[in-house]
Amino acid sequence: MPRVLDGAAIAAAIKQEVAEEVRALVGLGVRPGLAAVLVGHLPASEIYVRNKVQACAELGLYSDLIAPAETVTTDEMLALVAELNARDDVDGILIQLPLPAHVDAKALLDAVDPAKDVDGLHPVNAGRLQAGRPALAPCTPAGIIEILKRSEIAIAGEHAVVVGRSDIVGKPVAMLLLHQNATVTICHSKTRNLGEVTRQADILVAAIGRAGFITPEMVKPGATLIDVGINRLSTREEFDRFFQGDAKREAAFSKRGSVIVGDIDPKAFEISGAYTPVPGGVGLLTIAMLMANTVRAAKMRRKIADQDYNFARGERIP
């Protein structure tokens, strides 16, 4: 039977560690702070930001939710980012995406002080990550490494195949796996004979944003499958393609009118050695790693000895 890699349990353990670090920092007179900027009223974004603010409260971090009007201009947002960069009580700046079309999201992300870039999206942090230097790594890729390490899944010497090349997940998780001494192949929608490549993977990371894109025929038996995708199925045809005969999912579909599936066809999990479920897997690590990054940013800014992970190299700093 394949192992289910429990994202909830791993996220809970990381949050507990973060809470302990926060208590220690408060004892030194430092309370890590996160500023979350939410523009507009997209329900999904509102839920994500609310969950992040709630996590701050649970773990003892300071949080400041800033909600500019949907008509805010790029110049006004740049001014806001400049204010947050200058605030000493703010260690991390989170700009919730997507932004309204008239706002230049790239300019805003580039304007964030790299020392406060807890999403790990600034070019400076991307460069540090590539160079193997201490960096604030993107939360989801860092969470994937935590899942593997805490589940005692071997990485060094293994062939890791990453399907997806985004700046948010695909590229940084490939770099983090490389720093863990995996042999890494990056694939994407234009890769020829994709199934031939994915069948070589000891660790297969799917982050391409297509429901059930990785089929059982594309998976090597016994491989570890890391499913980053979150795709909503809302039609009976889509549901039956992946979950026909699944009584539990059927009940959820009947109640809500939709269910979630990842980028890996659930039937592929049956031949794996271990896998992250959707939901209940990688997604739960994102907020936990955001909290960890905020604490790390607070320590790095104040030159406090960092006992947390150097996510660029995946090792604990003495």
96 counts as catalytic: yes
> How far is it, in rounded angstroms, from Cα 218 to Cα 285?
26
Token pair for 50: 């609310």
Could you say which DSSP state residue 223 is in? -
Token pair for 268: 């592929």
Token pair for 187: 């694939």
> How far is it, in rounded angstroms, from Cα 198 to Cα 40?
39
Q: Is 60 in contact with 26 (CB distance < 8 Å)?
A: yes
Token pair for 272: 């794996």
> How far is it, in rounded angstroms, from Cα 311 to Cα 180?
10
Identify the active-site residue in 91, 113, 117, 119.
119
303 counts as catalytic: no
What are phi and psi for residue 192, nearest 5 degrees? -75, 145
> How far is it, in rounded angstroms, from Cα 279 to Cα 249?
12
> How far is it, in rounded angstroms, from Cα 132 to Cα 115?
16
Identify the active-site residue in 52, 116, 171, 299.
52
Identify the active-site residue in 91, 96, 116, 299.
96
Complete DSSP assignment for 201-255: -SEEEE-S--TT-B-GGGS-TT-EEEE---EEE-SHHHHHHHHTT-HHHHHHHHH
Q: At what angle do helices 43-59 and 283-301 cross, to 10 degrees?
A: 50
State the catalytic residues: 52, 96, 119
